[in-house]
Chains A and B, each alone.
Chain A
């Protein structure tokens, strides 16, 4: 299997590798995939609660080069977007950007899932930590 230059670049120079404090109320963590399947992605976002803008994103991935590249690209793309804008990122766009072959499409699906899981986790925390404020505003 030969990889596209973009996959190789993300593999050799992954963007935004790392971890943030899972317990931070502004941090959303998505952990998707399974070791038995050969792919696990952890994607974290840090959201400004005032603006809903994703100010930082980090990832760690166990998986093939395409999985690493998909999650690395996902962190690049979500940064600076609002949570709602980030939810619009489609796996097909990742496939296109990285020129993934058909057998690697599941890597892009996993990256999309990771974004959604991270945002879902953040939203859950928001609801849990600020129920009074939300109710008051309404």
Chain B
């Protein structure tokens, strides 16, 4: 099996030298914050809606439409149940980016009379940050809260920042890079007390950790299918209907679908899949999150027991169970990815980003640029196994050791040179 696997990459003699343990299929996918593979049960749920049940959910007067509508309404119930909402509070969208845009722009435009101040955090996803930046061009004032060293926002900071013009606070539930869980319940409580709408981009959290819109006083929440083993292109937005009732100005006008908040013919197979993914998550979350945390801690121990000068980015305590984000000092992230090319993970290195800037999330934690360049994000998911974790740990350790032998910084540090005191040529 190992020789077959290596034919694809004949120049990588390091991969060839290593015997692949049985039960492991390469490459290993461990980038579950980018997207998750689909659960086969989800696909099964979706398939009838491509062919035999192809109807338009908005067709009210024939069985083709009824079958589609039935699937859509079942999905709405399943999503609502997972987050403690009612099905009428779920609006279908194309995914997280649209949900974030609809939530923020929709609230901003609807409550413009009331105020023009929006609060968010510097570590939010670009779908939130860029939407806020867009609104700044139209007279909205946006406060980008800093985060503490562990990645969490400071509640006192938030409290101080809310003023009588604040209409919206948008803070993510779980961060996509470092997996840090924000104190959503406390933020929700604060917003409720001050009469400010609270939106949370919950795409990384839902299905992984409990999210309850009532217990947490969430008013609007973004959800997407492909981060919880569902399909891409299917998302949803929770919009509170009472205490208080939240209204949104739509981004997309048309036939008045989705209570007028999001027109357009519904993506019935995708919606059916999203609903099934939520139902599975509801059922399996307790055991699954326990298993994820176990695998994550196994990987952490495997790496940290064998390497010095590795640093975990963000709080370990308030963190998604499947997330591990580590900086390997003296090793550049992209070169590390290249060395472990039979494993799919991500890096905060500038070399791997479109902008050639190291991760803004890590920089916001106060991680130096040098360590941001050295970071790797492991996203462990439902289908990863203990054998895979052990293989990944071994590959990472051996590659880091090899690259450190190649690193002038490691050599200098071992010689006792303080790298911070060196005058670099740039």
B284 to chain A, nearest CB (A): 36
- Chain A residues, CB < 8 A from B13: 12-13
A101 to chain B, nearest CB (A): 11
- The answer to whether A5 and B11 touch across the interface, beta carbons within 8 angstroms, is yes
Answer whether residue A129 sits at the interface, using C-beta atoms and an 8 A cutoff: no
**Binary flags per residue of A9-49, CB closer than 8 Å to B gives 1, else 0:** 10111100101000000000001111111111110000000
Given contacts A11-B338, A103-B356, contact A60 B11 (CB under 8 A): no
A45 to chain B, nearest CB (A): 15
**Binary flags per residue of A49-64, CB closer than 8 Å to B gives 1, else 0:** 0000000000011111
- The answer to whether B351 and A62 touch across the interface, beta carbons within 8 angstroms, is no
- Chain A residues, CB < 8 A from B349: 38, 64
Answer whether residue B425 sits at the interface, using C-beta atoms and an 8 A cutoff: yes
B370 to chain A, nearest CB (A): 4
**A8, A9, A34, A68: which contacts B424 (Cβ < 8 A)?**
A34
Answer whether residue A77 sits at the interface, using C-beta atoms and an 8 A cutoff: no
- Chain B residues, CB < 8 A from A1: 352
B408 to chain A, nearest CB (A): 4
- The answer to whether B425 and A68 touch across the interface, beta carbons within 8 angstroms, is no
Query: Lowest 6 A-B CB distances belong to which pairs?
Result: A34-B424, A35-B370, A42-B408, A36-B369, A64-B334, A60-B408
Q: What residue in chain A is nearest B369 (Cβ atoms)?
A: A36
Which chain B residues numbered 1 to 47 have a C-beta less than 8 Å away from chain A? 11-14
Which of A1, A17, A60 has the most C-beta atoms of chain B within 10 angstroms of its own C-beta? Answer: A60
**Binary flags per residue of B394-426, CB closer than 8 Å to A gives 1, else 0:** 000000000001111111000000010000111
**B330, B335, B352, B426: which contacts A37 (Cβ < 8 A)?**
B426
- Chain B residues, CB < 8 A from A40: 408-409, 424
Answer whether residue B350 sits at the interface, using C-beta atoms and an 8 A cutoff: yes
12 sample A-B contacts, Cβ–Cβ < 8 Å, listed by A number: A8-B12, A17-B406, A34-B426, A35-B373, A35-B409, A35-B424, A36-B369, A38-B358, A60-B411, A62-B409, A63-B335, A103-B356
